[in-house]
Chains A and B, each alone.
Chain A
């Protein structure tokens, strides 16, 4: 099977290269001689089919690697180093992306899969898709070359084949790890598609904004995957690493956040291009940057340039990525300089108080956040180059900059939707902002009356601002739904719930987007809770107790266990809240035989109000008693709920709008409505 896998990768490389070369030749011939014979068209068609064939070849290669893992074929070096006989089957499947070679194969396969969908749906715009397909083939060639030369996943073990493998990194033996990397990669890889369309549209001087319409769903789906991937990673870190937090500004976390920030900026600013033909050059560079940041993120985490708790592979493939990045940047720059006159804006920003300027601020803030994170992430490399010693930038640096930026973004989340396009008068501002402002101020007063003291420390101040702005934004967005639904209600005579649903279905993109904003608000509420975290650590032998906040934990027993995959130590703790029995928790620590590594299994009792998070830290070597660390983390559950709302909002935005006929059918048959329906259907 290893030989078959290697062959499939080679075949994939040949097919991608054929797609790239013949696709480029055909496009050149069609561009130079548009009235020429059908030969270039046939050449372009064979290139497209080769691209589809590359997906089949890469699927065969990915299947071969999974097959080797499932059949314990330890003659394959990758399987030997990332699996073992006792490994449960879902993790054998996850072995595909647990190491360097496997994760690059996953990259290449996902890229081929995205390319497959793009090439099959080529009739949306045959010429533009041909350009995008050829550019995508170029990216595929790079990743397949990596699999052929520096990182072959089917390399064989030299000498005698061991009877068992070295096992999977224990940190990866967690259910979320089976879905987190594919989600993240679907996000990273997915940005290749809007990138290819944007570059293709620029190369062919595509008239109009239809390419944005074509790539809108691609971008939103990609953004959704990346969002889910990032938060699954945060949840995994929270559940497995046992330090009580979910985001540590680790280089790998930063690497995933940077393309998310620029991708979010792109999703907002393309609306200006679609609606008003503005910001064309800006948008093109935003998506170029997003794609390059995806590649840079992979470079940072895969090359060993920076160290991270999330980086499970290190090697010398960095030079390949640098070369690819330089090629991509050169192609983008060259194409832009050649075609920049095609990117003239049709309008200018007319007023500072308008929807356009709120999008621009949103973009600038997101880019400032991205630049800060990039600077902090690259600082160890830059300092080593300049001063000869690696200086690492820690969470205080990021928090000092990112928290105020995040709060300003939260503010923009609320005001953007209620501002008008072109310009907003003072009267309009007053009309739309009175209630949200009142909600924000009342929230701040209530919280201070309840005991929040923002003048004591900056963390509390930021939390108070976040809670107040959350109220402001929720009221602003709620009023958007309320006002729109009232119009529907007047026309249909149906109840408010029906009207809200009808309103949403009439413009899923806008109201789905508002739901995403609500999700962001909920996430911020969760993040704001971190200002009030508490923790305590102590030795806890039989019947010892610990009190933290409203909880009292009493040790019932501590013991050891063993199975084929790992040995474990755990402690049973009875938890009382306000002196009433609440539940029993069992924090655990495992020692994996194959990899000779330990892993923490956190016990977490999560409620909307707070998480009780208990970690088994090990045993005191002198007393042989377990050491238990307990955290109280307020509002953490809101973060995960917020992400679910964001995902739901994005999915809703992907649903097509109701047609004019469907809208007309739901109306009351009054004269005014019949006239209005006629107006809509025209």
Chain B
């Protein structure tokens, strides 16, 4: 009985491991463009949070303006690089 149980366990697992797979998931390398898009989303989220907190009355006007300008500058730099890389890809 023990031998049968051991055999079933081994055969089952080995069939599962080595059974030919038609569509193996490909390990693609993440690009700079994907990274920048993630950063852009993150900065947009920070901007949304900032706007919400300002509307909630958490920050005075001058703090809000300064922080918003900082985040928008960051976003602008990232968007510019994304556009540059995208135009490069299209040209290629």
Q: Is the CB of A41 within 8 A of B26?
A: yes
Q: Which residues of A contact B46 (CB under 8 A)?
A: 275, 421
**Cβ of A38: which chain B residues have Cβ within 8 Å of it?**
24
> A15 near B: Cβ within 8 Å?
yes
Q: Does residue A548 face the partner (Cβ distance < 8 Å to B)?
A: no
Query: Cβ of A57 < 8 Å from any Cβ of B?
Result: yes
B40-75: CB near A (< 8 Å → 1, else 0) gives: 001000101110110111111011000100100000
In the complex, are the beta carbons of B56 and A484 less than 8 A apart? yes
Complex contact A422–B38 (CB within 8 A): no
Q: Evaluate contact between B25 and A126: CB separation under 8 angstroms.
A: yes
Contacts of B63 in A (CB 8 A): 420, 424-425, 427-428
Cα of A548 to Cα of B84 in the assembled complex, Å = 78
Q: Which interface residue of A7, A30, A60 has the most chain B CB atoms within 10 A?
A: A7
Which A residues are in CB contact (< 8 Å) with B28? 126-127
Q: Chain A nearest CB: distance from B27 CB in Å?
A: 4
B57 (CB) vs chain A CBs: closest residue: A483
Contact yes or no, A207 B32, CB < 8 A: yes
- Looking at the assembled complex, report how far the CB atom of B61 sits from the nearest CB atom of chain A, in whole angstroms: 10
Q: Is A274 an interface residue (CB 8 A)?
A: yes
Which of A4, A34, A50, A680 meets B17, CB within 8 Å? Answer: A50
Interface residue B6 (Cβ < 8 Å from any Cβ of A): yes
- Return the contact of A431 from the options B31, B35, B38, B60 (Cβ within 8 A): B60
Render B4-45 as a binary contact track against A, CB cut-off 8 A, 1 for contact. 011001101100111001001111111110110011001000
Interface membership of B87, Cβ < 8 A:
no
CA distance A42 to B24 in the complex (A): 7
CA distance A50 to B10 in the complex (A): 11
Q: How far is the CA of A207 from the CA of B27 in the complex (A)?
A: 15
- Known contacts A428-B60, A431-B58; A206/B25 CB under 8 A: no
Closest A residue, CB atoms, query B26: A41
For the complex formed, measure the closest distance between the CB of A39 and the CB atoms of chain B, giving whole angstroms. 10
Using a Cβ cutoff of 8 Å, how many contacts connect chains A and B? 114
Knowing A45-B21, A420-B67, say if A4 contacts B38 (CB, 8 Å): no
Q: What is the CB-to-nearest-CB distance from B51 to chain A, in angstroms, rounded to a whole number?
A: 9
Question: Using Cβ atoms and an 8 Å threshold, which residues of chain A touch B25?
Answer: 41, 45, 122-123, 126
- Please indicate the chain A residues that have their CB under 8 angstroms from the CB of B9 in the complex: 7-8, 11, 56-57, 60
Q: Which residues of B contact A53 (CB under 8 A)?
A: 13, 16-17
Q: Of A7, A127, A209, A507, which contacts B42 at CB under 8 A?
A: A209
8 Å CB interface, A41-88 against B: 41-42, 44-46, 49-50, 52-53, 56-57, 60
Smallest distance from the beta carbon of A47 to chain B beta carbons, Å?
A: 9
| Residues of A in contact with B, size category | 35 or more
Per-position 1/0 for A599-620, Cβ under 8 A of B: 0000000000000000000000
Q: Which residues of A contact B24 (CB under 8 A)?
A: 38, 41-42, 45
Cβ contact within 8 Å between A484 and B5: no
A130 to B26, CA, bound (A): 11
Q: Cα distance A130–B39 when bound, in Å?
A: 24
Cβ of A56: which chain B residues have Cβ within 8 Å of it?
Answer: 9, 12-13
Q: Which B residues are in CB contact (< 8 Å) with A274? A: 42
Which residue from chain A places its CB closest to the CB of B10 in the assembled complex? A11
Complex interface: chain A residues within 8 A of B56 (CB):
483-484, 486-487
Q: Considering the chains assembled together, what is the distance between the CA atoms of A34 and B30 in angstroms? A: 12
The distance from the CB of A1 to the nearest CB of chain B, in whole angstroms, is 8
Bound Cα distance from A123 to B23, whole angstroms:
13
Residue A208 at the chain B interface, CB threshold 8 Å: yes
A44-B27, A122-B25, A421-B46 in contact; A209/B38 too (CB < 8 A)? yes
Chain A nearest CB, measured from B70 CB (Å): 6
Q: Which among B26, B30, B52, B62 is the interface contact of A206 at CB below 8 angstroms?
A: B30
CA distance A1 to B63 in the complex (A): 69
A57 to B5, CA, bound (A): 12
**Contact partner of B6 among A7, A44, A425, CB < 8 A?**
A7
**CB <8 Å contact, A208 and B18:** no
By a CB distance below 8 angstroms, the chain B residues around A15 are 13, 17
A421: B residues at CB distance < 8 A: 46, 50, 67
The answer to whether A248 has its CB under 8 Å from any CB of chain B is: no
Complex interface: chain B residues within 8 A of A138 (CB): none
Complex CA distance for A52 and B14, rounded to whole angstroms = 11
Task: Look across to chain B and name the residue whose beta carbon is closest to the beta carbon of A1.
Answer: B2
In the complex formed, the residue of A with least CB distance to B70 is A422
Q: Kindly state the separation between the CA atoms of A18 and B16 in the bound complex, as whole angstroms.
A: 14
* A208 and B60 contacting across the interface, CB-CB below 8 Å: no
A120 within 8 A of B: no
Q: How far is the CA of A42 from the CA of B18 in the complex (A)?
A: 9
Asked whether, in the complex, the Cβ of B42 is within 8 Å of the Cβ of A422, the reply is no
How far is B19's CA from A42's CA once the two chains are assembled, in angstroms?
A: 11
Q: Which among B48, B50, B55, B60 is the interface contact of A487 at CB below 8 angstroms?
A: B55
A338 within 8 Å of B (CB atoms): no
**A425 CA / B18 CA spacing, docked (Å):** 62
**Assuming A4-B5, A45-B21, is B60 touching A425 (CB within 8 A)?**
yes
Question: Restricting to A340-384, which residues have a CB under 8 Å from any CB of B?
Answer: none
Is residue A135 within 8 Å, beta carbon to beta carbon, of the partner chain?
Answer: no
Q: Which residue of B lies closest to A44 (CB)?
A: B27
Residues of B within 8 A of A45 (CB): 21, 24-25
> What CA separation (Å) do A374 and B52 show in the bound complex?
42
Q: How far is the CA of A510 from the CA of B38 in the complex (A)?
A: 20
Assembled-state Cα–Cα distance A208/B56 (Å): 31
| Interface pair A46/B39, CB less than 8 Å apart | no
Query: A484 contacts B13, CB within 8 Å?
Result: no
Is A515 located at the chain interface by the 8 A CB criterion?
no
A3-B2 in contact (CB<8A): yes
Using Cβ atoms and an 8 Å threshold, which residues of chain B touch A425?
Answer: 60, 62-63
- Contact residues in B for A277 (Cβ distance below 8 Å): 39
- Scan residues 633-682 of chain A and give those whose CB is less than 8 A from a CB of chain B: 680
- CB-CB contacts below 8 Å: A194-217 with B: 206-210
* A residues less than 8 Å from B62 (CB atoms): 425, 427
> What are 12 A-B contacts defined by CB distance under 8 Å?
A7-B9, A38-B24, A56-B9, A56-B13, A57-B9, A126-B26, A127-B30, A208-B39, A425-B63, A427-B63, A484-B56, A507-B49
The interface of chain B, by Cβ under 8 A from chain A, is 2, 5-6, 9-10, 12-13, 16-18, 21, 24-32, 34-35, 38-39, 42, 46, 48-50, 52-53, 55-60, 62-63, 67, 70
| Sample of 6 more A-B contacts, CB < 8 Å, known A42-B21, A208-B30, A428-B63 | A4-B2, A30-B27, A52-B16, A56-B13, A209-B42, A431-B59
Q: Which residues of A contact B (CB under 8 A)?
A: 1, 3-4, 7-8, 11, 15, 18, 30, 34, 38, 41-42, 44-46, 49-50, 52-53, 56-57, 60, 122-123, 125-127, 130, 206-210, 274-275, 277, 418, 420-422, 424-425, 427-428, 431-432, 483-484, 486-487, 507, 680
